[in-house]
Each structure stands twice: as structure tokens, then as C-alpha cells.
Structure 1
């Protein structure tokens, strides 16, 4: 098993019928979540912001195809109805069930379909490799592949699934992510650990610069592995979230290349992350990556508008394909060999390392190139 079912106490199943899917994941334990900061919040986000304060979940129900966003009071009632449906299907308290939705904004849920799918999925819930694949596929929209991650340690595991391909500039956690651990972690500690992990992973992924109305990341600790070292747990959680974040960037809508930007020499980690995200989300940088154009000027210019103070005449920039690298700028001086630099951009992964020479802060952000296919996908998204 390679994700959630690799964690003791977690079982799942899912169904995908056309663009409409539904997943049920069962796991009892202390829970926490992080959510979108978009002013326009989907109904399931509003519901879960309140419900997760109780600090405990027994299952989640997730639908794809309809975001249940910008749907007013009816949307809130429908989100609660989803929990009621899952509670009935799983014989659980509806108040202990998490809810997530993804899909088209401004459309109402088809509750009869959700009920029908939930009652077909519930009897199949199991802990198996197939189960985690079915659950991950059920929540996909424009994703081309399901996304899984599992971090095993000597005494515990952390696993997760996520979906995300477009409308990716998370300002909380991610699009939809469901994380699980068999470590015994109280809800308060889970909340702090998840926030840190999200900031260092999901919050550093940009595909197109749009923050979704539905971003939600939930974590549940089943506790079957007992108490663990918190530093070791934090490292495992961050590693698991980082793997999922990179998979989102790789699967960006229309993408042909993964873009990774590491900023070093910043005043602090927060400043480094701010610069890295600004470079990652620049349409000019993204199109240059698509065209295999080692345009150092676009990278430096994007860094300069990030709101972080540094001396451009002291900055250095390197481009790499993950194996070989080529210096573009050294201490403010252009030193590029264009042919060699362009060769570093031919593969599926392009890495920029930008040294601001202004401190010890370091951070990495992930994204993808911007292609004609992105416009094709989103130009007719609802039709």
C-alpha cells in the first residue's frame, strides 16, 4: 500500500461515474484541518471550519463534479446532508463526519446521486491497495493521475491522498487533501503540526495563481501506534505533504514540465518562501520554461517584486535539470552559456536556484510551465 490504507485503522473506497465521483474514508481519531482563505468559501469549508473544532472525526465523505460553492444557505444544508448520508451509510454519528467537495462553482449538489453512490460505496470499504486507488480516483476532476504518499517510520506511518491540477495557489493547505497517521497525537498538536507542514508544502505550490473556494486539508490520528516523538512525526508529516504537493505541481493542467524554485540567502525562511512563490507563479517565467528559454531576467524581475529586500547586484542564479546545472548569473553578473543553459531545460523537470546573498533563509516552491493546453482546458470548463 502506498498511501492512506498503509496507516493502521484506515479503510476506504470510491466510485467515479463520468465527472461525478464519491469517496468514503473511515478512520476514527483526533483530527485537525486547514482551510482556504478565499473570502468566497464553499459550503463544506464553512461546515468543516466549525466541525473540526470538536477535534475528532470518524470518517469523511468527498464528492467530485460539483464544488457546492457560492450556493448560499442551501449549500450549507446540502453539505450537512452529505454528512447525514455518510452517517447513515456507515452507521456513524453524522456530526463526526468530515465533508469535502470539488468541481464546478455555483452549482447545487445532486443529493440523490450522492446518496445512491454513498450506499454503493459503503459496503465495499476495506483496507487495501485497491481501496486507496479507488478513493483517490473518485475525487479527481481535471487531474490526470491519482496522488498518493506514504511515509513509514519505525513505529508509525503517515499517509495521504490529494487532488489538484488547476485553480492552484493554495493559501492554507491544498485543494483537497486527506491525511492519516496511526501515531497518537492530540488534536491541538495535530493542528499545529499540520499548519507548519502545509506552509512548507501545499502553500508553496502554484499552478495558475488562483486560490480555490474549496481548499481543505484534514488529518486524523487513529492512535493505534501509540505515542511517538513529535519531531519525528513532524518530519514525516512534512515529507508526506511535500510529496503530495510536488505531485500536484507535476499534474498541473496542461503542464509538460515540473518547475522547482529554491531560494537561498534570504533574510529568513518566510522571505525565501515569498520570493520562491512569486517566481513560481510568474506567467512570464512559466512560459519561458515551456519554451525552454533560460530567461534569467524574468526570474530576477519576479524576485524583485516579491516584497523582500535584497541587492540584485549580489544575486546569483543557476538552472538545473536535477542532474547537471548551469550558472546564469553570478554575483549580479550575467555569465550564461545559452546553449548549455537551454539544454538544462529540455527535460521534464526545470530547477532554478536563486541566491539572494542577504541572509541564511531558504525555501523551495513548486509549479509547472504554462501551455496552450491550460487555456483549452479552462476555456470550456463548465460547458
Structure 2
């Protein structure tokens, strides 16, 4: 990535620059003919208050993203949001919270089958050992709905950890927890925990009793401080878009750009300051803007090709027009093609003349492989006053009077 940075006196100024760079990147990738989405993204190790990734949709992309084709919403899997799940069937009823003996039922599937309820009404505990930048570690518990999965990056952001490790049985036991039977009620005071936003104020839930072989029914997810509720879950293909109510589709993407609002994350520790209009020292408010210049070439080919080779968009193509001489021994063909090439270049058209001493088939194969947007074939039909105009995308061919071919080129390329 090639990175650019901006320095501002205020968050408002940063916001304006961020929006300007967003529009600039959008225009660049649009002109290159890329099938891309600007997606909500996690800022990761770079940090800051917000970021956008520019992802080219590709089957062999390295990143999972969720897109809504009913609106413009798109997000990296690590930052995706959805409309909260709803259950339309019959809900379990319980007049009071009760503890049940559930021996050897330590999985959500076991518990749901035992109580004959959908996993929607169960709460799953995911116990992690959180490791922090200073090397310290502690046990953290994340509670999500039984039918959902914990999204690890969201969980890391929730507790501010650098990474997770699997907690050992001894570590879980030392923290006062019971694996398979952990619930949000009566947790040891020293255990840090977070609850997924979608569970807030839910009633009639089934949770672990924090006691070996027991679960509690009729639990209400209330009376927890707001800071305990976080977005923790993985969003999946088919979930409902929070913006428009359409369905989200999971696909692959290749990152070609990433822009960040860094704020004062770096200027504060570096003591990078400026004097404001009152002569007071303030930290710069920073932005960062990365674009993958070199990878754009590979991405453009990946996004636009067929079984014969590349199909370049004219705004990124090395040449816009390939003028091919079929027979170098034919002086009329050589003269016409050479003059046409000179006229195109004088008009500012980025043309190339294929006057190699190669068989015609080799030249055509190279045109199809390299993929210049257009070609003019100067061949034996020139004797009849015709040349062939070829569009690489779809290999569409058209015979044109030789005296009108320059006008055709000007019409398309100027």
C-alpha cells in the first residue's frame, strides 16, 4: 500500500478530508472499471475512530465481506452488522426463574433438546484468555445467543485485548467458572464479561447456572450495566440488512484501498503539536489513506478476463488500440497501418503498431492474451477497401470501410 497522511486542527476538518478522500478513491476505482464496494471495516492495529476498506469483489479474494444488493451497505466480516434476529414461532413460557438438573448436557444442542426449545432461547458462554499489550492476561467470558457465533475481532475490541488464547481447564476452574455451565448470573466478581447487544432485555432465556450439571430457565437479561453490552456476533449469509431490510450476501473481496480516521492516536504519544490561533499547543488530528497501486494491476486482470487472456479497461490499459498488420510483405497493408498509427498518435490516442515479423495467428493470440481494449486488423480485405475493428471485451468484430476507420477510432477513444 502507498500511504498518505493528513494533519488537521479539528475532528471536523478531518471528517471533511476523509469524505473527500472517500470520493476520490471511489472515482479512481470506478474509472478503472472495478466491481468494488466501500465497506465498513475494523481499524485493527492501526486504530482510530473509523475506517473504510475498498474491496474488489472476487471469488478468490482473501477477505470475507457481507454485501446487501438491495442498498449500498457492505462491511468486512469483522465489522458487519445486521437487523437483530427475531423468532416467529411459539416462545417458551416460564412464570419464574428455576434451576434444573441437566447432567452431562454441556453443549447448546444438548440443552435445547432437553428443554425442547429452539437454540434462539439459549445463551452460550465463550470463555477466552485475553492477552493485553503489556503482557498481562485474564479470563473473559462472552455471552451470545445459542444460535449465534462469537466474532473474535469484535470480542477483542470489546475487552481491549491484543489477542486471545484458549483458556485451560485449570485456568477456567481457578477463575471460579464451570465450563459448559457458565451463565451471566452469579459470576465471580473478578471475572470480566460481555453480553451481545441482541440479548439485552431478552426474557425467558435458558442459561448456565454456574454450577456443574445445572441450567436455569426463565432468565431475563436485564440489570446489567450498559458497558457490558457489545456487538459480539458473526453476521452470516442470509441475515437481514440493518439499513434496508434486504438480505445480506457473503462474498469474497480483495482490498485495494483503506482510509482511516486516526484522530490523535499517534500525535499524542509522539507529542506532535501545533499552535492554534490562541497560541495554545494542540495535538494534530490525523488521517491515513492507503491505496494498493501495484496490486491494482493484478486485481484488474482478476476482475476482467476470459479464457483467452486479459480484458483491460481503457483507463488502465498500457495501450488503448492495437493496429495489427496481417502481412508485412504487402506494402499497401504496411503503408496504411503505419499512416493510421501516426495519425492516431498525433491525436493523442495511445496506440501500438504490431509490425513484428510473426505469423498472423501469433499476433492475434497475443492481442487476445494481453487484452488491449481495441484492435484494428489490416489484412487482405484492405484490397476491397475494408479493415476489421475488434473490441477485446467479447471479441466483437466489425468490418469498416478503410476510409472511415479513423473516424470510428475518434468516436470511441476521443
Q: TM-score, structure 2 length as denominator?
A: 0.22
Report which of the two has the higher share of helix.
1
